[in-house]
Structure 1
Amino acid sequence: MKFALVTGASKSIGFEVVQQLAQKGMYVYLGSRNLESGIEAVDKLKAKGLNNVEVIQLDVTDNESVLKARKEIGKKTKVLDILINNAGVYGGHPQTALDSTIDQFKATYDTNVYGVVRVTQAFIDLLNKSSEPRIVNVSSSQGSITLHSDPTYKYYDYKGAVYLSSKSALNMYTVVLAYELKNTSFRINAVCPGFTKTDFNGHRGTGSVADAGKRVVKYALIGNDGPTGKFFSEENNPETGEIPW
């Protein structure tokens, strides 16, 4: 049996990813900042017959919480096969380059960027023990500088200095991490789940949570001949999925 950890997984896309991985026979640790919410999420999955899930209290913005989660999971398994860095925040309003506050940037980066670094570094030793370690950083096509520099891009007018720049930073971390582990069996990619209807965007999205989950899970399960250090958004490129940074 393979073991996976998904952060920010008590609801929406993260919850769906946990469900789909569990349905495929993985043992999944459902990371949740709020323990009660995580317990409720696990209960929902167990009610569906998915008993191979377990809640782990994990606040990606709190180093002690991350280290405690690593210690707890380390008591249960010596190997982690999949890490999905899903936890993310939008960053509030305003999102303009001139009016966004430094506190907004700090809070958003603390989750979307630093949180990924904290969790990845904390669990890299367990991932190193897997024969097929996979890391998926849940990003957004909105973090593509190339696309947002193109006036013909369908979301060109949907700018946001805080959120977009945090995802761009996450993308660069993904590139560097994949480069550093290029001569190993790691496969590390940034994946955009698409403009999904969730609480995150006030349910203004157009895609389903089920489809978003499939897009993330796909890259968590690629073989050793699969891509690494790439940026995928099947919503923007249905043919190959890959989009420019």
Structure 2
Amino acid sequence: MPFSGVFSSALTGRLPALASALALAAALAGCASPASRFYTLSPTGDAARTQPAAAANGNPAWLIELAPVDVPPQVAKTQFVVQTDAAQVRVLEQERWASMPGDEIRRALSVDLTQRLNTIDVYGSPHPDGVPVYRVSVNVQRFESWPGSHALIDAVWSVRSLDSQTVMTCRTVLDEPVGAGYDALVAGHRDAVGALSQSIASGLRALAAGPGQARPVRCPLDAQRQG
């Protein structure tokens, strides 16, 4: 048999296998999972780049230590956990936080508080003697995501002076309305974290205004704000 005939026969014999392989590849491509989208609560744009002058110079009037933030176990995952009704939730594999929700909240609070208070977050870092330090702890008891409806954060937080051991413990409930889509839901949570930061900053200022006083320190008026 001529060489060309042998080559043609061999190629013809492989065509069914090649066609099957291509069909399998197409089927696998069609079954591939959609790409995941990642979201963050951290400030973006100019707000994230702006640093207070005193903090940038390393000479703030006081320092803060923002401890890791606790969140409910059912939402302590990178996937979005959204409410479908009062008793049911859905876990969304394609809509995800850039890091664990507690880390997202802590990072956003740290950036916002340091800007509001013109200070530095020294958690986990050494700091100089002679500068007042206030330890901030946040326990998020409810972190609810209702697409197209609202984003809710219910948090108990405290500010403690490491010098006098005076402590303020408060609760802030924030219920931010949101529009349709997951971008709007994330924006609602970002607004809630910003409002929580405002309450904590108000509490810290009140604590710092009367160091060593025996009277109890009252929570700021906005610590029970609801949207």
Q: Tell me which structure has the larger Cα radius of gyration.
A: 2
Structure number with the higher helix fraction is: 1
Structure number with the higher strand fraction is: 2
TM-score above 0.5, yes or no: no
Q: TM-score range by the shorter chain?
A: 0.3 to 0.5
Give TM-score, length-normalised by structure 2: 0.35
